[in-house]
């Protein structure tokens, strides 16, 4: 209330000063204009009266003035004619009794032989008096006075002030009303709602911020409160989880445990992560810049680790608004736990290093999907240069840190471990390869095989998802370069340096149930225009390794073989466009769209489509919502290092329901045998597995899901990081910080 009074006080004062100031200027201007008008009229009439009475005055006539006075006098205009001594020769009747006070003006005009004018009070009224000498031989022989009533000047002014006062009153009333309403709607009410919201958050109920809070007014307040609430919620849930685990005597990895573990093993040293993909991109959307979390398993996995451990994440700044936001930023923005250091690349570098060598060369090289890898010398040049650029940025970031822990991610940075180790032998470097490692014959076609292997072997620890990939890698090293392989210890020894090669099956945060708010199934489906008893879901980057066309073929076959499921089952496919500058990706995108279109056209009926295809970026929460409402999830990769969609689906199902149909060629299939495993190339197999999934008895569904959930919980992302860091910590430290 006091705020409102102060605000209104300010507005009133401003209104008063402005209105009064303008009214004053208006009054002055009007008065000057009226006086000018009076002067002009008096001068004209004065000159005419002087001229008309000139002959009479110079002759010294005592009569004859009546004619002049009648001709020029009017009720508002008094006239008087004087002789050379100021004696009245004639005057209009209305002014005759009041001529006394005019004498000084008349004498002045006669003496100076010049017109004299001014305001006089005549008969109690304001009067403009203009006295003109009547001349004879250029000497004043008398004078003529014109008296114009100017009383209306004063009353006009008062009128204007009165009008101004009324205007001001009305304006103030209006402003008061509008301000009061605005403050109530835009400030008081939203603040009350924010307060209520904060209370709910404090109580641990994760509710969305009120919708009517004006972004520009409350945006930062809302995000600060959200950040605080999240921190509280995380701390609370970590404590609860720890307590639960202690009671159950379990030793599952949690965020808190990982934090403590890192502190115990490495002291308060920050962790340095390098990856091509950044955890958050900034994207311009009209006039606003939005944060966008990319569709990437790597980001899904590493995000929680960085939140737990803190440190610096070096990545390619690829969002179109990244440069506006900054090179070094704290993340998550609502409650920063670590720093993102962005590395900028030119279009040409990105084309050569990322699209070219990494994704047209190494990606198809490592996946058995019958796509021919393309190796171009120019791309290789960019790949090397970009690895050097990232190494430089990383070295800068860890300049002040003794024996830093470095986690290099993926096939984009095969050369980085060696570059870093050469500059900082005290650093403990791990490289995790997120995609499969094929057999040595496949790798042998890469013209720069040795450089890649030597680059990777710069690391102290090289990790793959499975033991099988570790074996393939060691075999490749054995055949391609000089070095001693110790098969019993899974190490490669070259000179003084030893590289340990180990499997670390990557995973997700154990319980996404809380993040995946149970969707209101009916409402969510209605939003998609979907009705139906059964819902299947698929979540992929549009990549030819993911087996999207194969899946659609299988769905078609399913509906053909079991037509009773038409209108009863809808498959929702979430497809994130990916690497779309590469022709092969454009082709698979086109092919998928066309297959969906054809299937919907052939089998779809009024009010029902077999497949709802959503090709755009979806944020994590939206995706978790779909996981929650699906009866089954399909992962039909033709070849996949791990596949975290499978694990995310499981982690989101804290209702212990839902069926996972999983490709046996995805790394995840080794850990999740309770999924319904399929060969994605076998259309009949996949179609009948869909049929099995929708008909699976509820007890079996629950059994399978709870086994898978146990697996994901016990082998979660914190465990992945914990084991990897533990392995790294066991590697003897080099104390010499730099070698020549
Ligand atoms: O699977 C390999 C990988 O780098 C993942 O780590 C990540 O999920 C995916 O590819 C993302 O690809 P990109 O970063 O090229 O969009």
The number of the ligand 1 atom at minimal distance from the alpha carbon of 411 is 4
Distances, alpha carbon 705 to alpha carbons 107, 177, 516, 660, 672, in Å: 119, 61, 16, 8, 10
pLDDT (average), residues 162-178: 86
CA 48/CA 694 separation, integer angstroms: 114
Better-scored residue on pLDDT, 87 or 577: 577
Note if the pTM is more than 0.75. no
Q: Of 637, 638, 633, 636, which is closest to residue 648 (Cα–Cα)? A: 633
Give the nearest ligand 1 atom to 296 CA.
8
Per-residue confidence (pLDDT) for residue 739, from 0 to 100: 41
pLDDT band at 394 (very low <50, low <70, confident <90, very high): very high
- Rounded CA-CA distance 48/713 in Å is 112
Atom 6 of ligand 1, nearest CA residue: 298
Protein residue with its CA nearest to atom 14 in ligand 1: 277
Rounded CA gap, 33 and 111, in Å? 30
Cβ(435)–Cβ(410) under 8 Å? yes
Helix (H, G, I), strand (E, B) or coil at 704: helix
Interstrand relation of 534-541 and 569-576 (parallel, antiparallel or unpaired): parallel
- Spatial separation of the C-alpha atoms in residues 518 and 245, rounded to whole Å: 25
Q: How far apart are CA 556 and CA 597, in angstroms?
A: 12
Task: State pLDDT tens for residues 619-671.
Answer: 888 899 899 999 999 999 999 999 999 999 999 999 999 999 999 999 999 99
Cα of 582 to ligand 1 centre, how many Å?
Answer: 15
Cβ-count burial 146-165 (b if 16+ within 10 Å, e if not): bbbbbeebeeebeebeeebe
Ligand 1: distance of its center to the CA of 381 in Å? 22
- CB 543 within 8 Å of CB 579: yes
Nearest to 367 by CA among 413, 414, 407, 411: 411
Q: Write the residue with the smallest CA distance to atom 9 of ligand 1.
A: 296
Instruction: Give alpha helix (H) positions in 183-296.
Output: 189-202, 215-248, 255-266
Q: How far is the CA of 297 from the centre of ligand 1 (A)?
A: 6
Atom 11 of ligand 1, nearest CA residue: 296
Ligand 1 geometric centre to CA of 298 (Å) = 6
Residue 230 pLDDT more than 70?
Answer: no
Instruction: Give how far the C-alpha of residue 431 lies from the chain's centroid of Cα atoms, to the nearest Å.
Output: 32
For 86, the enclosing helix (H) or strand (E) is: none
355 pLDDT higher than 90: yes
Closest ligand 1 atom, residue 358 Cα: 15
Nearest CA to ligand 1 atom 15: 579
Q: What is the position in ligand 1's atom list of the atom closest to the CA of 354?
A: 15
Facing residues of 449 across strands?
A: none
Integer angstrom CA distances of residue 543 from 417, 549, 553, 591: 28, 10, 16, 11
Which ligand 1 atom sits closest to the C-alpha of 297?
8
Ligand 1 centroid from CA 710, angstroms? 26
Residue 372 main-chain phi, psi, to 5 deg: -75, 125
Q: Across residues 596-619, what is the average pLDDT?
A: 95
Q: Is it the case that residue 735 has pLDDT exceeding 70?
A: no
| Res 339 pLDDT > 50 | yes
The Cα 233–Cα 147 span in angstroms is: 90
Burial class (CB in 10 A: 0-12, 13-18, 19+), 19: middle
Q: Are 15 and 175 in contact (CB under 8 A)?
A: yes
Lowest-confidence segment of 209-213, 324-328, 424-428, 593-597 by average pLDDT: 209-213
- Cα dihedral 337, 338, 344, 349, rounded to 10, equals -110
Q: Which residues, other chains included, contact 93 with Cβ-Cβ below 8 Å and sequence gap of 6+?
A: none
CA distances to 247, 481, 541, 589 from 582, in Å: 53, 32, 14, 11
Residues with CB under 6 A from ligand 1: 276-277, 296-298, 410, 434-435, 578-579, 641
CA nearest to 532, candidates 646, 661, 645, 629: 629
Can you tell me which atom of ligand 1 is nearest the CA of 642?
1
* More reliable by pLDDT, 242 or 356: 356
Distance CA 671, CA 694 (A): 23
338 - beta bridge partners? 331
Q: What is the pLDDT of residues 36-88, one digit of tens each?
A: 998 999 999 888 888 888 888 887 787 788 888 888 888 888 999 988 888 88
C-alpha 414 to ligand 1 mean position (Å): 15
Distance from residue 335's CA to the centre of ligand 1 (Å): 26
In this structure, the number of other CB atoms found within 10 A of the CB of residue 622 comes to 14
| CA 412 to ligand 1 centroid distance, Å | 10
Ligand 1 pocket test: pick from 273, 297, 668 the residue with the most ligand atoms within 8 Å of its Cβ.
297
Q: How confident is the model at residue 740 (pLDDT cuts 50, 70, 90)?
A: very low
How far is 317 from 661, CA to CA, in rounded Å? 35
Going by pLDDT thresholds of 50, 70 and 90, the confidence category of residue 737 is low
Please give the distance, rounded to the nearest whole angstrom, from the Cα atom of residue 151 to the centre of ligand 1.
Answer: 90
| Ligand 1 pocket, mutate which of 302, 433, 434 (most atoms under 8 A from CB) | 434
Substitution candidate for ligand 1 out of 277, 386, 464, 646 with most atoms within 8 A of CB: 277
């Amino acid at each position: 209330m006091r705020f409102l009074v102060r605000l209104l006080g300010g507005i009133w004062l401003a209104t008063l000063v402005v209105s009064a100031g303008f009214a004053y200027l208006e009054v002055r201007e009007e008065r000057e204009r009226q006086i000018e008008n009076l002067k002009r009229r008096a001068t004209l009439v004065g000159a005419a009266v002087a001229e008309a009475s000139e002959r009479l005055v110079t002759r010294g006539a005592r009569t004859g003035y009546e004619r002049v006075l009648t001709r020029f006098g009017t009720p508002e205009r008094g006239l008087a004619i004087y002789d050379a001594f100021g004696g009245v020769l004639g005057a209009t009747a209305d002014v005759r009794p009041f001529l006394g006070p005019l004498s000084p003006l008349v004498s002045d005009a006669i003496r100076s032989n010049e017109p004299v004018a001014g305001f006089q009070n005549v008969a109690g009224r304001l009067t403009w008096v203009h006295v003109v000498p009547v001349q004879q031989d250029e000497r004043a022989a008398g004078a003529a006075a014109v008296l114009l009533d100017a009383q209306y000047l004063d009353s006009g002014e008062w009128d204007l002030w009165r009008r101004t006062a009324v205007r001001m009153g009305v304006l103030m009333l209006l402003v008061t009303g509008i301000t009061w309403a605005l403050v109530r709607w835009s400030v008081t009410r939203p603040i009350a709602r924010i307060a209520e919201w904060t209370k709910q958050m404090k109580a641990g109920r994760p509710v969305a911020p009120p919708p009517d809070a004006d972004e520009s007014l409350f945006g930062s307040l809302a995000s600060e409160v959200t950040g605080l609430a999240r921190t509280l919620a995380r701390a609370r849930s970590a404590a609860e989880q720890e307590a639960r685990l202690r009671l159950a005597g379990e030793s599952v990895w949690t965020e808190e445990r990982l934090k403590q573990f890192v502190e115990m093993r490495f002291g308060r040293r920050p962790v340095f992560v390098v990856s091509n993909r950044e955890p958050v991109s900034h994207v311009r959307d009209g006039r606003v810049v939005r944060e966008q979390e990319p569709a990437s398993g790597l980001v899904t996995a590493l995000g929680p680790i960085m939140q737990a451990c803190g440190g610096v994440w070096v990545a390619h700044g690829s969002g179109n608004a990244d440069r506006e936001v900054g090179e070094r930023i704290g993340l998550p923005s609502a409650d920063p736990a670590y720093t993102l250091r962005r590395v900028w690349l030119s279009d040409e570098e990105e084309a050569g290093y990322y699209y070219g060598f990494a994704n047209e060369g190494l990606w198809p090289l490592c996946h058995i999907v019958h796509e021919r890898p393309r190796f171009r010398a120019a791309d290789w040049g960019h790949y090397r240069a970009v690895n050097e650029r990232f190494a430089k940025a990383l070295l800068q970031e860890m300049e002040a840190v003794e024996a830093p822990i470095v986690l290099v991610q993926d096939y984009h940075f095969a050369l980085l471990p060696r570059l870093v180790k050469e500059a900082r032998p005290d650093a403990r470097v791990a490289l995790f390869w997120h995609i499969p490692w094929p057999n040595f014959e496949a790798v042998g076609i890469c013209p720069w095989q040795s450089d890649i292997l030597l680059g990777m072997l710069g690391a102290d620890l090289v990790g793959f998802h499975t033991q099988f990939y570790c074996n393939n890698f060691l075999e490749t090293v054995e055949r391609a370069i000089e070095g001693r392989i110790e098969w019993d210890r899974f190490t490669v020894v070259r000179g003084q340096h030893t590289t340990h090669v180990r499997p670390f099956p990557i995973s997700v945060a154990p319980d996404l149930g809380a993040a995946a708010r149970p969707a209101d199934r009916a409402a969510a489906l209605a939003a998609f225009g979907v009705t139906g008893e059964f819902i299947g879901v698929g979540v992929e980057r549009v990549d030819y390794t993911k087996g999207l066309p194969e899946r659609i073929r299988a769905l078609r076959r399913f509906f053909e073989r079991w037509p009773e499921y038409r209108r009863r089952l809808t498959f929702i496919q979430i497809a994130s466009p990916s690497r779309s500058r590469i022709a092969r990706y454009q082709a698979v995108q086109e092919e998928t769209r066309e297959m969906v279109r054809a299937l919907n056209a052939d089998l779809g009926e009024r009010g029902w489509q077999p497949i709802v295809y959503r090709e755009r970026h979806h944020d994590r929460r939206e995706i978790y919502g779909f996981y929650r409402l699906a009866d089954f999830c399909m992962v039909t990769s033709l070849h996949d290092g791990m596949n975290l969609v499978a694990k995310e689906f499981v982690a989101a199902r804290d209702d212990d329901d839902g069926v996972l149909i999983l490709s046996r060629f995805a790394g995840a299939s080794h850990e999740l045998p309770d999924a319904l495993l399929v060969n994605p190339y076998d259309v009949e197999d996949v179609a009948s597995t869909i049929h099995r999934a929708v008909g699976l008895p509820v007890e079996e569904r629950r059994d399978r899901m709870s086994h898978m959930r146990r697996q994901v919980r016990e082998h979660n992302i914190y465990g992945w990081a914990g084991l990897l860091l533990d392995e790294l910590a066991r590697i003897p430290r080099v104390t010499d910080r730099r070698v020549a």
